[in-house]
Amino acid sequence: MNLLIPWADPSDRVYSTPTSLLIKLRLGEAPEHVPAALDVHECCHDPAHSLDGGPIDRIMRCHAGAMRAAHLHCAARNQRRRGHRHNGYDDVEQVTGVARSFFIKVPRGAPIAQICDRLRQISIVEWVSPNYLITQTLDKEPGLERPLLTDDLDAWAPRHLVGLPEALAHEPGQPTVSIGLIDSGIAHGHPEVKGQLRDDGYDTVNLQQTDVAPGVRLLGDYTENDPNPYDDFVGHGMGCAGIMAAKGVHMPPGLAGACQVLPMRALGAAKLPDKVLPVGLGALSDLDLAITLAVNQGAKVLNLSFGTSDEALTPSSPRPHADTIRYAAERGCILIAASGNSGAHERYWPAAHPEVIAVGAVDAAGQPASFSTKGDHVAISAPGARILTTSLGSYQYATGTSFAAPFVAAAAALCVSRASRMSRSVTGPEMRQILTRSARPFPHGTRHSGAGVGILDAAAALTTLDEMIVQSPGPMGGQHVQ
């Protein structure tokens, strides 16, 4: 993607849209009259043309000429009430900041970097950021159109490595436990996931062709927010879904068993000049909105197979997804994210946030994969090299930490299911402890600095959970499962 973006900071190495930015106001300063973005998209309200009636508005008039503003997130209690989604934010939403975060649209040609710099100097502004775009590629082997054998040794090897058969025998999972899949969407008609996907997913992709660099072509549905999280081009989300929720028709079953997947399409599709296959493309605003929607719709585990490199951001930019990650954690969600595919020791966001369980990838031999991003924040690794899984229309072999994370998300969902049978709950910190205590050691002699404590062992994680429940004098997580 061409990074000649005159509206942005010259030191910024990640592309941002030329017509939007994100701003968070300090506690007690957020105006109540501004509608929610979903209500604006659904034509229930016009966007606000004023935010504070003071310095923010003056800066916007001076540097942009005009603006259109909306609350980025819906109030949880009114998420399903069209026209009222900006009313009734609770204390958790206020404290974490999702009630105080706004999406601002400006005319093309407005100097986004200069506007952000001016807004940062206002006392009621907690942070402001360009609306960055991230890309998500899919390393796959196309052409797997014929049915596959469920006893294929290559297909089963990664599943045996994480103890899938033993884990599902121990805990089959419960349909009441959902994994929020924040990704490129799914293909509902695939026989492997039929009945495994919740039907109340959502599509938060809201882009315009003018938001992307010359030579980049957006594909399919990219302008409308709607309850149809379908992917026609990328297949990244379907790759994750199959690892978690496949029924075992022509591939091994998903590790999450009977747990369901809540698909949230936050990555659209784009054709890049230097790529043969379409890639996923999403704005920070779309990803953050998808996270809060999934949380409000009851997802207990979130799978986040996307990220932005810390090295690509300017020092003045907030670390992406911080508020929505904190919000999800406060609501009791267990957060799982891919560490990244740079092969370097560095941080990707959201994986590097302390509330998140960051997952690296190992190869078929259990060795940390050369492409897997490493760091002290990586908690655990899972298979991520040539994983047989679902594609949009058939099957694929997929590679990347994107496909290691769903193994861990599925194991977490099984643990949530297991705990709920005993009227217990599991918090994110407890889940981290369970996974790391039960991890399988890397092969003897392996150099694994920055790859976590070991390899996911889902069966051992369930056994560890049982032991913790027996030893615990009270409910884990401090409360009974609702």
Judgement on whether residues 264 and 336 belong to the same structural domain of the protein: yes
Contact 39, 78 (CB under 8 A): no
User: Residue 310 has which token pair?
Assistant: 């810390």
User: In percent, how much of the chain has pLDDT > 70?
Assistant: 94
pTM: 0.95
Could you tell me if residue 28 is inside a domain? Answer: yes
Residue after which a domain boundary falls, among 132, 167, 183: 132
Judgement on whether residues 256 and 403 belong to the same structural domain of the protein: yes
Residue after which a domain boundary falls, among 132, 157, 187: 132
User: Residue 159 has which token pair?
Assistant: 């599943």
- At residue 151, the pLDDT reads 59
Judgement on whether residues 352 and 449 belong to the same structural domain of the protein: yes
Judgement on whether residues 21 and 123 belong to the same structural domain of the protein: yes
Does residue 479 surpass a pLDDT of 50?
Answer: no
pLDDT tens-digit series, residues 102-143:
999 999 999 999 999 999 999 999 999 999 999 998 765 544
Give backbone dihedrals phi and psi of 24, rounded to 5 degrees, phi first.
-125, 125
User: In percent, how much of the chain has pLDDT > 90?
Assistant: 86
Rounded to 10 deg, the angle between the 458-471 and 428-437 helix axes is 120
Could you tell me if residue 11 is inside a domain? Answer: no
Residue after which a domain boundary falls, among 106, 132, 158: 132
Judgement on whether residues 177 and 241 belong to the same structural domain of the protein: yes
Which of 59-68, 143-152, 314-323 shows the lowest per-residue confidence on average (mean pLDDT)? 143-152
- The SS3 assignment for 373 reads coil
Mean pLDDT (whole number) for 73-85: 97
- At residue 271, the pLDDT reads 95
Judgement on whether residues 104 and 162 belong to the same structural domain of the protein: no
Judgement on whether residues 211 and 294 belong to the same structural domain of the protein: yes
Mean pLDDT (whole number) for 170-184: 98
pLDDT tens-digit series, residues 446-473:
778 999 999 999 999 999 999 999 887 5
Total number of domains constituting the chain: 2
Does residue 147 surpass a pLDDT of 60?
Answer: no
Does residue 1 surpass a pLDDT of 80?
Answer: no
pLDDT tens-digit series, residues 237-270:
999 999 999 999 999 999 999 999 999 999 999 9
Which of 34-43, 274-283, 373-382, 409-418 shows the lowest per-residue confidence on average (mean pLDDT)? 274-283
Judgement on whether residues 391 and 312 belong to the same structural domain of the protein: yes
Could you tell me if residue 267 is inside a domain? Answer: yes
Q: Which domain holds residue 282?
A: 137-478
pLDDT-derived band at 186, boundaries 50, 70, 90: very high
Could you tell me if residue 9 is inside a domain? Answer: no
- At residue 9, the pLDDT reads 82
Could you tell me if residue 4 is inside a domain? Answer: no
**Which residue bears the tokens 């591939």?**
251
Q: Which amino acid is at 131?
A: N
- At residue 35, the pLDDT reads 98
Judgement on whether residues 240 and 116 belong to the same structural domain of the protein: no
Judgement on whether residues 312 and 460 belong to the same structural domain of the protein: yes
Q: How many residues does the chain have?
A: 482
- List strands edge to edge, sheet with 217-219: 68-71, 101-105, 16-25, 125-136, 279-283, 268-271, 217-219
Does residue 480 surpass a pLDDT of 80?
Answer: no
Which residues neighbour 252 within 8 Å (Cβ) at sequence distance 6 or greater? 150, 155, 156, 159, 164, 246, 388
pLDDT tens-digit series, residues 367-386:
999 999 999 999 999 999 99
- The SS3 assignment for 362 reads strand
Mean pLDDT (whole number) for 198-208: 97
User: In CATH, what number is assigned to the domain containing residue 103?
Assistant: 3.30.70
Contact 331, 295 (CB under 8 A): yes
CA angle 176/181/184 to nearest 5° reads: 145
Rounded to 10 deg, the angle between the 428-437 and 405-421 helix axes is 110
- At residue 481, the pLDDT reads 34
Contact 68, 48 (CB under 8 A): yes
pLDDT tens-digit series, residues 272-296:
998 889 999 999 999 999 999 999 9
Could you tell me if residue 10 is inside a domain? Answer: no
Could you tell me if residue 5 is inside a domain? Answer: no
Could you tell me if residue 113 is inside a domain? Answer: yes
User: In CATH, what number is assigned to the domain containing residue 345?
Assistant: 3.40.50.200
Judgement on whether residues 82 and 150 belong to the same structural domain of the protein: no
Which residues neighbour 95 within 8 Å (Cβ) at sequence distance 6 or greater? 27, 330
- At residue 2, the pLDDT reads 41
pLDDT-derived band at 10, boundaries 50, 70, 90: confident
Q: How many other CB atoms sit within 10 Å of the CB of residue 148?
A: 16
Judgement on whether residues 72 and 150 belong to the same structural domain of the protein: no
- At residue 144, the pLDDT reads 56
Average pLDDT over the chain, rounded to whole?
Answer: 93
